[in-house]
Amino acid sequence: MEKEQVIHLIQNAFPENDISMQCNIHIKNLDNAKSFWSKIYQADLHWKDDYLRDLFPKSVFVKLPIISDNVKNGESDDMETLRELERTLKTITKIENDFINMINNVRIPHFTTVHSYYVENITDTLQGGMVSKNLVGKAFATEYIPGFNEKQVLRLMDALAGLHFWSITNAHIWRQKFGKLDTIDKGCAAFFYDSVMQFENIRPDWFKDKVSPLKWGFTEKFAEASMLAAIIDFQFIHSGRITEDILRILQIGISPEDRKLNKDK
């Protein structure tokens, strides 16, 4: 059933071609995609015509909004819990799809995104999903520990600066759709603030009275629009504060050694 959905999505990504007649498709489940809620597939496209082979991609990345084993393994077997996760996934999938449709042909300074060929929302008749450029073998995940190095953090800061610049100057485009995100646990805001506040105690000579004035950005009023997701994954995209992204990266996105060496920059 899932492979049939993958083929359906690919056909819609390249509607001018009869996929079944002009292309042989080899589908592989990427079961090592640890960070994804959804099920992830790589589809290798073996075009039968030289012209099509030069015109279209030879491989694509496909995401299906079906709860992955990564999530199931971390949750109970309670069916109501799984149904709630499925409802949440449906909500954040629509958020991601709407955002991708909005920016797919937009150039945002320093903010590199992955081109999507087709996105489909879940409806009464459609199962939903996404077909995008395949970066397998070209891009790699960084482990949570030890985290990013200094160069990676600065590059990510540039990307976020570009996104915030674009969002501020184009607020009329996205504000109505991405005003808040109710699916994020309201307790996350307090957790982030308490974690970042430790900087004031660890190095008061650098951070004394620097973090506490930003508490307003972590209150429950803003918890509905909590964290920004990875650049290749926009399921948690929302309106929010620039300082939220910066402080969160500084808190969890860099190794202890690099953090100590660069706190004064």
Q: Which range is least confidently modeled, 38-42, 50-54, 76-80, 217-221? A: 217-221
State how far the Cα of 42 lies from the Cα of 62, in Å rounded to an integer: 6
Confidence of residue 42 (pLDDT cuts 50, 70, 90): very high
Q: Is the pTM here over 0.85, yes or no?
A: no
Per-residue pLDDT tens for 137-164?
666 666 655 666 777 777 887 888 888 8
Pairing of strands 59-67, 38-47: antiparallel
Domain boundaries, the chain: 2-133, 150-262
- The average pLDDT across 240-264 equals 68
- 20 burial via Cβ count (<10 Å: 0-12, 13-18, 19+): exposed
pLDDT for 229 equals: 31
Give the integer Cα–Cα distance in Å for 247 and 264: 14
**Residue 239: alpha-carbon gap to chain centroid:** 15
Percent of the chain having pLDDT more than 70? 68
Q: Kindly report, residue by residue over 196-238, the tens digit of the pLDDT.
A: 777 788 778 877 887 777 776 665 454 333 333 334 456 666 6
Tokens of 26: 């080899």
First to last CA, the chain: 52
Residue 223 gets which letter from DSSP? H
* Rounded-to-10 torsion of CA 203, 208, 211, 212: 130
Mean pLDDT of 22-48: 83
Token output for 92? 């954040």
Most confident of 78-92, 179-193, 236-250: 78-92
pLDDT score, position 255:
65
Cβ-based neighbours of 258, under 8 Å, separated by 6 or more: 147, 148, 149, 150, 153
Q: Which CATH class is domain 2-133?
A: alpha beta
Tell whether the model's pLDDT for residue 62 goes beyond 90: yes
